[in-house]
Amino acid sequence: MWDAVGAWLASRRMQTLLRTPLRERHVAAGARLVPFAGWEMPVQYEGVIPEHKAVRSDCGVFDVSHMGELHVEGPKAQELLQGLLSNDLERLADGGAQYTLLTNERGGIVDDLIVYRLEAGHFLIVCNASNRDPVYAWLKEREIRGSEVRDASDEYALLAVQGPRALERLGLPEAKPFTHAMGSVGGVEAMIARTGYTGEEGCELMCPAEDAVELWDAVVQAGAVPCGLGARDTLRLEVCYPLHGNDITPDTDAISAGLGWTCALDDKDFTGVEDLRRIKEAGPERRLVAFTMEEKAVPRTGMAIAGGGEVTSGTHSPMLDRGIGMGYVAAASAALGTELKIDVRGKDRRATVAPKPIYKREE
Amino acid sequence: MAAEESYPGELKYHPEHDWARIEGDEATLGVTWFAQDALGELVHFEPPEAGATVAKDSTYGEVESVKAVSDVVAPLSGEILEVNQKVVDAPETVNEDPYGEGWLLRIRLSDSAEVDSLLDQAAYEQLLQDP
């Protein structure tokens, strides 16, 4: 009986989706809301394709407040993170940001994240929504004296404003990619970072949760098109940014995933570094490749690639108007131009290994 | 541009969100406004092979959007007379005009009595209200 009650309570909890401070704005704008990583998030407003094209040609805004924000502070904060993250924090100055991986003992990827250095001894980590709890637990359990990890995710809203006209529309000065500074947008104080997940110029704005609506309204007023997670996925896949849980997981390593550039294998030790050095030395058995379809078909996550491979992300590219994807294949099949056969619901469809990024703006 | 929601009175409907326009012993088939709206912008229509037959309540093809793929179910049985090449070439035609230019197949009915089992406009709209 009590088991049944427990199961019922658990199922009730499962159904309780978290909401960002902008939910009412999304509903008012006609968004289609879907469950994503425990959150109720807009998947699209007008449609994935127009939103995607708005970001490629002008400017779009995404509510990504579901992402996790962790503060790591203290005189030993850098020492803690140097031992846990793959990239080298020595290269990071105040106002800098770095794409990096949290790795496990086998060199697998617990999460990919961006670490922002606010000042010496104070870092902000932005991690995937679905990994917020495991990342926090991983860091917290490994805290050393003189370092403190704090989950501040509920205190902040995060907006990604992306596109070639994003900075201009917000009245922000040009800045180098992977830098950040405090600033003001529409009268709202925010941390303004030159980072994103679309391959376009633009910024991510982090503000206190209570200021989120005012900031969102100011950004939309400036001409940014509201965009949902659907367009976020097609945009990132066109430029081959991996999605954790699909393209990279705790069972895949950075070298096979083509993320060796985020791993300071020669400069420092971190969790799983020996395995990663060994994989790099021997060469990975399989590699994460990008591909474009040669036939009319849309590849999807989980489809088999002939020869023992698997699609990890797939979609229809709005810019190329054809199916694109990423997947793991045997290293021998990873060379550019190699023909792949993808099992699309029982039919073999031809694809070709393509350079990353798959989409690049014509200069 | 996406079409406005509508369910024309002269069509017959299948609960899997397909419509049929009956003309003598032939029928034109497509998907309803509700189906195209649920899928979003279509990017691919996988039609049946030429000369094939379709069977009532069975899948005859696939329509696919950026986000999802869906089987298309035949509301009626028959022999395929024509596949709408315009939709094969420009699948978004279904979003723009689901009951007109966005038709999918024309068939010759093998059992016109099957028509009686389909829903009329009122019954289909009721099904959408109260699934």
Are A316 and B2 inside 8 Å of each other by CB?
A: no
The Cα–Cα gap between B71 and A69 comes to 41
Integer Rg of chain A from CA: 21
Strand partners, B80: B107
Among candidate residues A334, A335, A309, A270, the one with its CA nearest the CA of residue A108: A270
pLDDT for residue A16: 84
| CA A214 from centroid of its chain's CA atoms | 25
CATH topology of domain B18-107: OB fold (Dihydrolipoamide Acetyltransferase, E2P) (2.40.50)
Amino acid at A1: M
Same domain, A222 and A325: no
Strand partners, A347: A344
A315 closest CB neighbour out of B46, B66, B88: B66
- Measured in degrees and rounded to the nearest 5, phi and psi for residue A228 equal -105, -175
CATH code of the domain containing A21: 3.30.1360.120
Strand partners, B126: none
Mean pLDDT, chain B, rounded, equals 94
B43 closest CB neighbour out of A44, A230, A298: A298
pLDDT for residue B3: 86
**Is residue A325 domain-resident?**
yes
The Cα–Cα gap between A197 and A202 comes to 10
Q: Which residues of chain B does A234 touch, with a Cβ-Cβ cutoff of 8 Å?
A: 66
Are B66 and A49 inside 8 Å of each other by CB?
A: yes
Q: Residue A291: helix, strand or coil by DSSP? A: strand
Q: For A296-312, give one letter per residue: b (16+ CB within 10 A) or e.
A: bbbbbbebebeeebebb
Are A296 and B44 inside 8 Å of each other by CB?
A: yes
CA distance, residue A349 to nearest chain B CA (Å): 13
The answer for residues whose C-beta is within 8 angstroms of residue B69's C-beta and 6 or more apart is: A298, A300, A345, B44, B62, B63
**Structural domain boundaries, residue A318:** 285-363
Question: What tokens were used for A98?
Answer: 């770095």
- Measured in degrees and rounded to the nearest 5, phi and psi for residue B127 equal -65, -35
| CA A2 from centroid of its chain's CA atoms | 40
Same domain, A209 and A316: no
Q: Find which of B5, B42, B43, B63 to mutate to test the A interface (most A CBs within 10 Å of its CB).
A: B43
**Is residue A265 domain-resident?**
no
pLDDT for residue B49: 82
Same domain, A163 and A60: yes
Q: For B114-126, give one letter per residue: b (16+ CB within 10 A) or e.
A: beeebbebeebee
Are B44 and A234 inside 8 Å of each other by CB?
A: no
**Is residue A361 domain-resident?**
yes
Strand partners, A102: A85, A111
A265, A274 contact by CB (below 8 A): no
Among A202, A218, A237, residue at a domain's last position = A237
The Cα–Cα gap between B129 and B125 comes to 6
The answer for residues whose C-beta is within 8 angstroms of residue A50's C-beta and 6 or more apart is: A225
| CA A21 from centroid of its chain's CA atoms | 21
- Banded model confidence at residue B51, pLDDT cuts 50, 70, 90: confident
Same domain, A41 and A186: yes
Are B43 and A316 inside 8 Å of each other by CB?
A: yes
The answer for residues whose C-beta is within 8 angstroms of residue B59's C-beta and 6 or more apart is: B71, B72, B73, B74
Q: Which residue does chain B place closest to A231, by CA atoms?
A: B66
Q: Does A33 touch chain B (CB under 8 A)?
A: no
Q: Which residue does chain B place closest to A45, by CA atoms?
A: B40
CA distance, residue A296 to nearest chain B CA (Å): 7
Q: H/E element holding A132?
A: helix A132-141
- Measured in degrees and rounded to the nearest 5, phi and psi for residue A104 equal -100, -175
Average pLDDT over residues B23-37: 96
The Cα–Cα gap between A21 and A216 comes to 10
Among candidate residues A294, A284, A293, the one with its CA nearest the CA of residue A254: A284
Q: Which residues of chain B does A230 touch, with a Cβ-Cβ cutoff of 8 Å?
A: 40, 66-67
Are B66 and A300 inside 8 Å of each other by CB?
A: no
CA distance, residue B40 to nearest chain A CA (Å): 7
Amino acid at B20: A
Question: What tokens were used for A131?
Answer: 């990994």
**Is residue A292 domain-resident?**
yes
Task: Give me the number of domains chain A comprises.
Answer: 2
Q: Which residues of chain B does A43 touch, with a Cβ-Cβ cutoff of 8 Å?
A: 67
The Cα–Cα gap between A219 and A59 comes to 10
pLDDT for residue B75: 97
| Dihedral sign for Cα atoms in the order A355, A251, A90, A69 | positive
Residues of chain A with pLDDT under 50: 1-6, 8-9, 12-13
Q: Which residues of chain B does A315 touch, with a Cβ-Cβ cutoff of 8 Å?
A: 66
Please name the residue that has the structure tokens 């997940």. A197
Number of H helices and E strands in chain A, helices first, is 9, 19
Amino acid at A301: T
Amino acid at B115: V
Same domain, A163 and A23: yes
Are A230 and B41 inside 8 Å of each other by CB?
A: no
A234 closest CB neighbour out of B2, B64, B66: B66
Residues 112-171 of A with CB under 8 A from B: none
CB count within 10 Å of CB A338 equals: 16
Among A237, A260, A276, residue at a domain's last position = A237
Q: Which residues of chain A does B67 touch, with a Cβ-Cβ cutoff of 8 Å?
A: 43, 48, 230
Residue B118 half-sphere exposure, CB side, CA atoms within 13 Å? 29
Strand partners, A248: A244
Order the strands of the B59-65 sheet from edge to edge: B42-46, B59-65, B69-73
Same domain, A53 and A160: yes
Question: What tokens were used for A201?
Answer: 């110029």
Percentage with pLDDT > 70 across chain A: 96
The Cα–Cα gap between B109 and A330 comes to 49
Q: Does A296 touch chain B (CB under 8 A)?
A: yes
Among A237, A270, A296, residue at a domain's last position = A237
Same domain, A231 and A290: no
